[in-house]
């Protein structure tokens, strides 16, 4: 019992030291207190999580959004008052349902900070697909928020994690809403599918070995193969480059084509096979330049880099070097391009997100949490 009490006291002391350090670096304002209360909610096992005790639980209701001929089901988180508030479309990326505890946690945290949050289930993302349809659904979600009576029309944006970070940037660049989107928060986003392809295939980032998450490889391979004309080609390549074990996808251990399959494949399919199994950085450009026209169009249309000059929203970019879905270099390239274009941005990069303070040294904990809190503070300060 004494040991447990001592351990808990240590955690409390740590939290108090952290708050003191932050208060010396950030002027104590409403945004400061919001940031200090919010950061612990986004860190597993943080000793103090006072936000739920100091704020009202938001109202949540299920809504249906019309997007072309589709119906998008979503949860709308509303602060428990009658005031008008900033709002955001929130999506955590591939294969993450709006009822997922992680989505609920983030949505509720922002709603407790007086933001209206719309968490849609984007159908193609739920099935691990990367398509322009998903972008259309994000645009429809934005327009849905525009029509809500308690939303500040000039303060509507996106909060996107991972793949959705890239997709929400593309949505914000679209001429239908580009002049109206107030902000985009992109956490570990992708910027250009060509540079992402190189990282996924040669499994190297900034000269260091990098093992991508199997889902990233699976999604990229599936989309490239689906663009082939012949169903027979797609079936064979799916079986060799998509429908294999998670470990083999992550490590790039793709089976060699059977002779009989190779004889049945078209030249385009064989080229696609070699493109997706390439591990030689010197050949990457060759494969990209000689891809099928439909594959080239996919790389262009689904990259935020293509129309980045059309992005007018304030952009808040957060990158974690230890993230394995998308290399941190994508976020870094995005920030550099925005800076070159003279766009407004905030960029924060850390080695490892402090998911569990029990698994890191005291210094790592402080650095990670301070940077995260500073990032959140900047967002609250400029979007409230």
State if pTM tops 0.85: yes
Rounded to 10 degrees, what is the CA torsion of 86, 167, 126, 322? -100
Residue 159 · residue 110 · CB < 8 Å: yes
Mean pLDDT value across the chain: 91
> Looking at the predicted structure, is the pLDDT value of residue 37 above 70?
yes
The whole-number pLDDT of residue 40 equals 86
Please give the C-alpha separations between residue 376 and each of 14, 19, 58, 61, 102, in angstroms, as whole numbers: 20, 14, 20, 26, 17
> Looking at the predicted structure, is the pLDDT value of residue 18 above 90?
no
The whole-number pLDDT of residue 356 equals 44
Over residues 267-308, the pLDDT tens digits come to 999 999 999 999 999 999 999 999 999 999 999 999 999 999
| Cα gap 108→80, rounded to integer Å | 11
The whole-number pLDDT of residue 73 equals 97
The whole-number pLDDT of residue 377 equals 92
The whole-number pLDDT of residue 48 equals 77
| Lookup: tokens for 282 | 């010197």
Over residues 319-333, the pLDDT tens digits come to 998 899 999 999 999
| Lookup: tokens for 291 | 């891809």
The whole-number pLDDT of residue 104 equals 97
The whole-number pLDDT of residue 353 equals 62
Residue 113 · residue 381 · CB < 8 Å: no
| Cα gap 14→20, rounded to integer Å | 10
Over residues 221-234, the pLDDT tens digits come to 999 999 999 999 99
Q: Compute φ and ψ for 175, nearest 5 degrees.
A: -60, -20
Q: How far apart are the first and last CA of the chain?
A: 44
CATH of 57-192+314-345, one of 3.90.226.10, 3.30.70.260, 3.40.50.1820, 3.10.520.10: 3.40.50.1820
Nearest alpha-carbon partner for 335 in 321, 349, 317: 317
Nearest alpha-carbon partner for 212 in 227, 222, 197: 197
| Cα gap 82→289, rounded to integer Å | 55
| Lookup: tokens for 290 | 């000689």
| Cα gap 383→151, rounded to integer Å | 13
Strands 70-78 and 85-91: unpaired
> Looking at the predicted structure, is the pLDDT value of residue 13 above 90?
no
| Lookup: tokens for 369 | 């949490």
Contacts of 283 (CB under 8 A, 6+ apart): none
Please indicate whether residue 181 or residue 358 has the higher confidence score (pLDDT).
181
| Lookup: tokens for 153 | 């029309």
- 3-class secondary structure for 120-181? ECCHHHHCCCCCHHHHHHHHHHHHHHHCCCCEEEEEEEEEEECHHHHHHHHHHHCCCCCCCC
Residue 383 · residue 316 · CB < 8 Å: no
Please give the C-alpha separations between residue 71 and each of 44, 100, 121, 137, 170, in angstroms, as whole numbers: 34, 20, 10, 9, 21
| Cα gap 362→383, rounded to integer Å | 32
For residue 46, with 0-12 CB atoms within 10 Å meaning exposed, 13-18 middle and 19 or more buried, which class applies?
A: buried
Rounded to 10 degrees, what is the CA torsion of 102, 314, 125, 152? 70
Sequence spans of domains, the chain = 57-192+314-345, 193-300
| Cα gap 351→366, rounded to integer Å | 12
């Amino acid at each position: 019992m004494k040991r447990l009490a001592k351990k808990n006291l240590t955690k409390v002391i740590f939290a108090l030291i952290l708050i003191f350090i932050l208060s010396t670096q950030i002027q104590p304002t409403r945004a400061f207190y919001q940031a200090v209360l919010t950061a612990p909610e986004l860190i597993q096992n943080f000793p103090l999580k006072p936000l739920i005790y100091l704020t009202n639980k938001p109202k949540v209701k299920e809504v249906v959004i019309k997007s072309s001929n589709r119906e998008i089901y979503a949860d709308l988180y509303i602060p428990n008052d009658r005031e008008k508030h900033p709002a955001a479309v929130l999506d955590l990326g591939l294969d993450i349902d709006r009822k997922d505890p992680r989505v609920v946690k983030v949505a509720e945290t922002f709603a407790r900070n007086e933001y209206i949050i719309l968490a849609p289930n984007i159908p193609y993302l739920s099935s691990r697909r990367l398509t322009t349809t998903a972008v259309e659904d994000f645009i429809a979600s934005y327009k849905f928020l525009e029509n809500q009576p308690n939303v500040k029309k000039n303060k509507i944006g996106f909060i996107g994690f991972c793949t959705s970070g890239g997709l929400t940037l593309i949505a914000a660049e679209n001429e239908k809403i580009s002049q109206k989107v107030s902000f985009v928060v992109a956490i570990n986003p992708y910027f250009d599918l060509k540079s992402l392809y190189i990282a996924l295939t040669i499994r190297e980032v900034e000269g260091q070995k990098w093992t991508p998450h199997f889902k990233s490889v699976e999604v990229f391979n599936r989309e490239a193969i689906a663009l082939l004309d012949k169903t027979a080609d797609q079936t064979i390549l799916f079986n060799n480059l998509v429908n294999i074990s998670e470990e083999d996808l992550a490590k790039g251990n793709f089976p060699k084509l059977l002779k009989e399959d190779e004889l049945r494949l078209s030249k385009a399919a064989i080229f696609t096979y070699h493109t997706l199994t390439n591990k030689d950085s010197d050949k990457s450009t060759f494969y990209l330049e000689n891809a099928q026209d439909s594959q080239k169009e996919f790389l262009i249309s689904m990259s935020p880099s293509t129309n980045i000059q059309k992005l007018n929203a304030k952009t808040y970019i957060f990158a974690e070097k230890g993230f394995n879905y998308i290399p941190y270099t994508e976020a870094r390239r995005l920030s550099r391009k925005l800076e070159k274009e003279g766009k407004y941005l905030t960029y924060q990069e850390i080695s490892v997100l402090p998911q569990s303070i029990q698994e890191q040294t005291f210094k790592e904990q402080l650095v990670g949490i301070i940077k995260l809190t500073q990032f959140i503070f900047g967002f609250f300060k400029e979007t409230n």
